[in-house]
Structure 1
Amino acid sequence: MVPITGSAQVDHTLYPDGQVEEGTYGGTQLALTEMFERIGRSYQSFFDVLAIEPTIPQAIPFHEKGNMYRFSNGDDGFPPHLDVIPKKEQVSQYTLFSALALVQTKLLVQKIIPSKSITGRFADDLKARAINAERDAIAGAPYRGNTIADIEKLNRSDRKTGTDVMRGLNIGDLPDWYSDARFAQQQFTGTNPTTITLASSDWLSKFKSAAEKQSKTDVLELLSSADPKSMYVQDCSYFRDAVKVGPTEILRSDGDEGDRFCCAAVSLFQLHEDGKFHPVAVVIDYKGSMDASVTIFNKRLIPSVPTDSEATDWAWRYAKTCAQVSDWIRHEVAIHLVHTHMIEEVVIVSTHRCIPETHPVFRLLSPHSLRTLSLNAGARETLVPAIIFDLIGIEGQQPFDFVQHAFKTFNFVGGYIPNDLSRRGFPLEELDTPKFKNYAYARNMAQMWLLLRTFVASMLALAYETDKQVAEDKPIEAWYKEIQTMGQIPTFPRIRTLDDLTDAVTMCIHIASPQHTAVNYLQNFYQAFVIAKPAALCSAPPTKLSVLEAFTEKDLVAALPINRPREWLLSAQVPWLLSYRVADENNLINYARSVWTLYKKKTGHEEQQVKAISNIFYNDLRNLIIKFNQHSRDMDEGTIPYTVMDPSSTAVSILI
């Protein structure tokens, strides 16, 4: 594996001089950081006042919680969430909230990140000041250059402080960051290792048809002879359906620094028996059919073909960039924002509304809701609409439609790790074979799920002896019905047995803790070097294969946010902010230790049982550290270590 150890020491094979320059984004970086900190503090303060997420625990009568925790009516375009605007008789609280958060943070966003929504002479002055201050503060502008080599060189010198699990390193530090091997490995251990799926017979037929049309006999031979269970896809073909446009409509948005474009890429990979994962083809922007789309096949159909030509195969590098753009929006908006933050918020609000604090399910879930509601409120008000939506290649109502599509198609029971991995073509019983050795996410998560479920089952067994007790538990019945109806997650299970309840609670903890950790805390490593995974294309995708095949480096540079300081700054800064390493007191293993500490001197029979269960849980998590390290070492030599799911790095809740 490559020598990125995650330690505090700078790796000298990556930085020969042993130095990583800190604070190179100067005043701009500090201003953005302060803005996000203020947003967080504002919402946390307000929620503290309302006792929604109180700093000091408060005993609130259960019958009052229905008024405190209410679902939104959907008029803001987001899925169901906590309605943070009090009723008419609570105008004073709304005024306080507005002063603390809404007005303050909106102005901060506009001043620090001026956009086309601000007009007039004052706006022009703000924009000029922001850009000039940035240029003065930066020791070399990391977005400037005429070639990819220019950007690579600046990436090595313009370095922010290392605050994440990878200690500030990013994929651009590696000389082969653009290679097939790096591109493929990100499907298994990158920011979005959750959507790679076994290719359907329909997709295989479509790729064969494209190969036949292009007279690619070698591709046809490969696709005809390969085991279908070795072929996988990253399928973003649904994008146009998700944003409610026609199959051939251009996906674009109007930006201050130029138009931005989205693409609905589909990538085909082959997983070899020795674990090598290799890209075979990319549909750069699927438009309803292969005939209407541009499909390009890799000249290197198997991993053993020499890599000498990879650096200058500009058409193929562009195609992989299209795939990365599609994965950026899918990961950031669907997998990260919706499938963790927003799904978990429905669970949290419903739990407060339906389950008393003395109930065993409330006690199990409560630690995993730490700071999530205020964090989500700030994200809905500022981070998502003002920044994330302002980086991608769709605009207007389309980003909200994309969010709603991700929410409505989320399958709660289908997301249980055993169900999810099996459905996507990764059988649990085969994960320890050489074929799957590089899919460390799956290997880790399968064991983490089993451990969490064992803990949850042991705790629930203290309260329930029979399935009948679960079926007759009125708070549980109200809970699952609330999530299904008011929370609009119809795939949440109808809970009739202890196993039903155990799985549902395990999934709630899984989303908040290991799943969010896996899709959040590697963002800086894979996205801070913006051209490796941009949020959008800066030029329209070609509509003919002949045009794509004639691409040069100049064409690839034109498609990247090079020489676009505002887009680059936001694209690099946001993942840095979201990747802050979890504080020790908020990691999963410390949670297990704290439960044991709380009960270690108590003498009651049930209390002693909780002490024993939490002790087993803690020791099991410690053993997972060893196992996960071994999974990382099992991966092919040269692969980036996968340490983000270490229980000492896994957050107990959605904290950022």
Structure 2
Amino acid sequence: MAEYKLEVTTGDMTNAGTFDHIYVTLIGTGGKSEQTELDNYGMDFKPGMTSNYTVKTSSSLGKLLLVKVEKDPFLCLPEDEWFCSKIVVTTPEGEAILFPCYRWISRGELVELRGGRATKVFEDDHPLLTDHRKNELMLKKTLYQGAELMFKGMLGSTESWGKIEDIKNIFRSTETPMSEYVSEHWKEDDFYGSQFLNGVNPNVIKRCSELPPNFPVTDEMVKPFLAEGTSLQKEMEEGNIFLCDYKVLDGLPTKVYDGESLHVTPGFIMFYLNPENKLMPSAIQLYQQPSEQNPIFLPSDPETDWLLAKMFIKNADLLQHQAVYHFTNSHGLAEVFTVATLRCFPVIHPLYKLLIPHFRYTLQINTAAKKKIFGPEGILSQSSLGLQGNVELAEKAHSKLTYDDLCLPENITARGLESISNFYYRDDGLKLWNIIYSFVKATVEYYYPSENDVRNDTELQDWISEIFTHGFLGNTTSGFPSEFMTVEEVIKFITMIIFTVTGQHAAVNNGQYDYYPWIPNGSFLLRKAPPTTKGQSSMKTLLETLPDVGLTGKFAALSWILSNKYTDTVPMGSYPDEQFDEPAPKQMIKEFQAELSYLSEEITTRNSQLEVPYTYLNPAVVENSITI
């Protein structure tokens, strides 16, 4: 007689338990056990409970391969699904084997759990395991049919704002220290400039060594705003001139509002990094082609002219941020990565175990976003671009996306931003990237000790092929891999994925309620046309340009929703669902967590010295997956 000891853990979320009968069958290389009901005296399978059971067999089953779990109804009660977290089986020989589950099991359902160390497809050494792996992938490819990008009182008021100060009333009860700071400093040029480095869209600004020919800023125009004794050309040569170019917005359809098409300005803004290391906006052209009706606005222009020019640039920046950098390049790509992982990797695959915690809730939040954000009645349909314009913007930008754009070290170098001062997104982001890289490198090299391991893993090759085809549209000029030939290629790609769904999403998402509720600092919609001549505007013009009271409330509510968190948030590097059974990857996770903790302390210490702290890449507040 042989005895197998089972520890069965039920999830700790609400309604995870069950009153139904649970049966298990153990399957090994030497045979299988009888179907055994898991039943102790008293209540079994309560939320958060770990219960112990014994399965007896006439002799040892040999190497334990699978645990078959079945759920039958109890009496005539309504369906109550059971969330099984994991089963740990200790064999008669004393080996404890983890069988991860982490899923809901319905009445009458049969689930076969595979345990032990993670394996690649060519490492399965038993026909039962080979069949189980093949059947699992067939089912998953049926369930997940292809990966596609996600893009294919106050609230009813139409009155204009009477004065700027009244806008505070819409978020006074929920304002953050940062949103309050924004409302007080939004007019200041140095604060405006800092947002292009450390606000919610640090993705557009580039170092400028030569001005575009269609942005004819002259030395005479900007000399009053440069240091004494220098020139525009000299400052460009010294690396102190920076540019944002919004040409991707050119030619897009816009929303029809009150019978007229709204205006979106696909222009330029030039910044000067002054001797005090402040990034100052120094020249703005609102459209691509210069003309008398498209003047270059300067800080010396009348106050409301300059404020309006900055507002239209911020509108363009916000629209690009939301459609491209937030939804397409983080949410949309995360969906592609998630679906490919679910379709191409069985749960025993080491890369499934590594990646799946970083896709928690991604499909759920994207499903909701498609309706609430990008649906016909979604909030972006009420932006200056309207629904069609936002969709075309996302498609246009995605067609130009490159692998380097998503790999932060290459991205920073390509934009010439390696040495600009006070760029905390870069500083924290590169440190986070390197920590992720070290963790991924250790894990991947443990499971793929040679290049042949990579080339022979057909599931891995299928995975990257699906991502290349559906996520990057088979674009061979983009630099994205369509196959893997080396271990290093796998390491870099997985580092990019984990950084995208953790740090990068946090950087472009978590500060939205800090910067966007104060609508003058950045609005989804501007009602009036931008100025075409100087000296004709007033504060009344500015208030009439801002969205009306009702839309202001909706946009502020959206920023609050997008920045909110679930109550069961999982911080970066936390893995409550135990996937790995081997000591080595478990130790790698501990080292990863330690490095994240050190970075968190470093960022917290730095922020304590800053008037405007940069918190969005602190691992303590970065989520392990895209959940909002």
Residue 529 of structure 2 is matched in structure 1 by 540
Is 2:622 the counterpart of 1:549? Answer: no
Q: Partners of 1:383 and 1:523 in 2: how far apart?
A: 15
Q: Which of the numbers 494, 505, 514 marks the counterpart of 2:494?
A: 505
Q: Which of the numbers 164, 178, 183 marks the counterpart of 1:148?
A: 164
Q: Is the 8 A contact 2:223 2:232 kept in 1?
A: no
Local SS of the residue matching 1:462: helix
Residue 273 of structure 2 is matched in structure 1 by 271
Deviation at 1:624, TM superposition (A): 0.7
Deviation at 1:134, TM superposition (A): 6.4
Q: Partners of 1:73 and 1:356 in 2: how far apart?
A: 21
Q: Partners of 1:355 and 1:225 in 2: how far apart?
A: 55
Local SS of the residue matching 2:427: helix
Residue 39 of structure 1 is matched in structure 2 by none
Describe how 1:301-340 pairs up with structure 2 within 5 A.
313-340=303-330
Deviation at 1:653, TM superposition (A): 0.6
Deviation at 1:349, TM superposition (A): 1.2
Residue 570 of structure 2 is matched in structure 1 by 586
Q: Partners of 2:508 and 2:338 in 1: how far apart?
A: 20
Q: Which of the numbers 603, 618, 622 marks the counterpart of 1:646?
A: 618
Residue 394 of structure 2 is matched in structure 1 by 403
Residue 614 of structure 1 is matched in structure 2 by 589
Deviation at 1:216, TM superposition (A): 6.1
What amino acid does structure 1 have at the position aligned with 2:625? S
Deviation at 1:439, TM superposition (A): 0.9
Deviation at 1:278, TM superposition (A): 1.1
Describe how 1:185-224 pairs up with structure 2 within 5 A.
185-203=194-212, 206-207=214-215, 209-211=216-218, 218=224, 222-224=231-233
Is 2:104 the counterpart of 1:56? Answer: yes
Deviation at 1:329, TM superposition (A): 0.3
Residue 9 of structure 2 is matched in structure 1 by none
Q: Partners of 1:217 and 1:453 in 2: how far apart?
A: 44
Deviation at 1:218, TM superposition (A): 4.4
Deviation at 1:325, TM superposition (A): 0.4
Q: Partners of 2:182 and 2:321 in 1: how far apart?
A: 22
RMSD over aligned CA atoms reads: 3.1
Is 2:562 the counterpart of 1:570? Answer: no
Deviation at 1:175, TM superposition (A): 2.5
What amino acid does structure 1 have at the position aligned with 2:438? T
Q: Is the 8 A contact 2:285 2:295 kept in 1?
A: yes
What amino acid does structure 1 have at the position aligned with 2:529? A
Local SS of the residue matching 1:486: helix
Deviation at 1:584, TM superposition (A): 6.2
Percent identity over paired residues: 22
Local SS of the residue matching 1:645: coil
What amino acid does structure 2 have at the position aligned with 1:456? V
Residue 467 of structure 1 is matched in structure 2 by 451
Q: Which of the numbers 601, 604, 617 marks the counterpart of 1:626?
A: 601
Counterparts in 2 of 1:584 and 1:440: CA distance versus 1, 3 Å? farther
Is 2:489 the counterpart of 1:517? Answer: no
What TM-score comes out, normalization by structure 2 length? 0.72
Q: Is the 8 A contact 1:528 1:575 kept in 2?
A: yes
Q: Is the 8 A contact 1:259 1:539 kept in 2?
A: no
Residue 297 of structure 1 is matched in structure 2 by 298
Q: Partners of 1:218 and 1:173 in 2: how far apart?
A: 27
Local SS of the residue matching 1:238: helix
Higher relative contact order (CA 8 A, sep 6+): 1
Deviation at 1:54, TM superposition (A): 8.1
Q: Partners of 1:383 and 1:215 in 2: how far apart?
A: 41
Deviation at 1:472, TM superposition (A): 2.3
Mean alpha-carbon deviation: is it higher for 479-488 or for 445-454? 479-488
Q: Which of the numbers 117, 140, 143 marks the counterpart of 1:68?
A: 143
Is 2:367 the counterpart of 1:374? Answer: no
Q: Is the 8 A contact 2:344 2:459 kept in 1?
A: yes
What amino acid does structure 2 have at the position aligned with 1:632? N
Q: Is the 8 A contact 1:270 1:280 kept in 2?
A: yes
Describe how 1:73-84 pairs up with structure 2 within 5 A.
78-79=151-152
Q: Partners of 1:200 and 1:505 in 2: how far apart?
A: 34
Counterparts in 2 of 1:365 and 1:73: CA distance versus 1, 3 Å? closer
Q: Is the 8 A contact 2:208 2:236 kept in 1?
A: no
Describe how 1:65-464 pairs up with structure 2 within 5 A.
65-71=140-146, 78-79=151-152, 145-152=161-168, 154=169, 158-161=171-174, 166=176, 170-171=179-180, 174-203=183-212, 206-207=214-215, 209-211=216-218, 218=224, 222-228=231-237, 229-241=239-251, 243=252, 252-255=254-257, 260-272=262-274, 274-284=276-286, 286-289=287-290, 293-299=294-300, 313-385=303-375, 386-395=377-386, 397-427=388-418, 430=419, 435-436=420-421, 438-464=422-448
Is 2:541 the counterpart of 1:528? Answer: no
Q: Partners of 1:443 and 1:337 in 2: how far apart?
A: 24
What amino acid does structure 1 have at the position aligned with 2:104? I
What amino acid does structure 2 have at the position aligned with 1:553? M
Q: Is the 8 A contact 1:231 1:270 kept in 2?
A: yes
Counterparts in 2 of 1:215 and 1:376: CA distance versus 1, 3 Å? closer
**1:8-39 alpha-carbon deviations (Å, 9 max, x no partner):** xxxxxxxxxxxxxxxxxxxxxxxxxxxxxxxx
Deviation at 1:366, TM superposition (A): 0.4
Residue 83 of structure 1 is matched in structure 2 by none
Q: Partners of 1:653 and 1:331 in 2: how far apart?
A: 19
Local SS of the residue matching 1:337: helix
Residue 6 of structure 1 is matched in structure 2 by none
Local SS of the residue matching 1:535: coil
**1:289-321 alpha-carbon deviations (Å, 9 max, x no partner):** 466633212239xxxxxxxxxxx7111111110
Residue 97 of structure 2 is matched in structure 1 by none
Q: Partners of 2:437 and 2:403 in 1: how far apart?
A: 16
Deviation at 1:391, TM superposition (A): 2.5
Mean alpha-carbon deviation: is it higher for 216-225 or for 484-493? 216-225
Q: Partners of 1:279 and 1:461 in 2: how far apart?
A: 47
Deviation at 1:375, TM superposition (A): 1.2
Q: Partners of 1:477 and 1:542 in 2: how far apart?
A: 54
Mean alpha-carbon deviation: is it higher for 63-72 or for 511-520? 63-72
Structure with bigger helix share is: 1
Local SS of the residue matching 2:619: coil
Q: Partners of 1:644 and 1:488 in 2: how far apart?
A: 27
Counterparts in 2 of 1:145 and 1:288: CA distance versus 1, 3 Å? closer
Local SS of the residue matching 1:384: coil
What TM-score comes out, normalization by structure 1 length? 0.69
**1:589-627 alpha-carbon deviations (Å, 9 max, x no partner):** 433xx47x777xx7xxxx221222111111111101112
What amino acid does structure 1 have at the position aligned with 2:535? E
**1:71-100 alpha-carbon deviations (Å, 9 max, x no partner):** 2788xx925xxxxxxxxxxxxxxxxxxxxx
Q: Is the 8 A contact 2:439 2:592 kept in 1?
A: yes
Q: Which has the larger radius of gyration?
A: 2
What amino acid does structure 1 have at the position aligned with 2:448? Y
